[in-house]
Amino acid sequence: MKALFISFYQAFYDEVIEALEKNHVKGFTFWKEVHGRGSRDGEPHLGSHTWPTLNSALITFVPDQMVDTLLQDLKKVDESAPKQGLRAFVLEAEERSV
């Protein structure tokens, strides 16, 4: 199982959710407003007078075999407006009963 942490320009919300649904991902945790700037080129999203836009972020947990296809779909979203930004990070995850 993998954890995917996805940080993205707020305007990409519908496209990110569409990518999740297309890949049959049902569960996720969503943060509506996060501030940040990327480590590559692109614009900061800081919610300030100078940089008024914001990012959102979500995390989801998916089986290993879903990761590549989901990342391909997210890459298409990022490429539609590369200066706005979308980044996905894949982490190992282990489900345990509590």
- pLDDT score of 21: 97
The beta-strand segments (E) located in the chain are 2-9, 29-34, 55-62, 86-92
User: N- to C-terminal Cα distance for the chain?
Assistant: 17
- Reported as a pLDDT band with limits 50, 70 and 90, residue 85 is confident
Q: CA 85 from chain center: how many Å?
A: 9
Q: Return d(Cα 86, Cα 65) in angstroms, integer.
A: 21
- Reported as a pLDDT band with limits 50, 70 and 90, residue 89 is very high
| Whether the predicted pLDDT of 16 surpasses 90 | yes
| Whether the predicted pLDDT of 24 surpasses 90 | yes
- pLDDT score of 81: 84
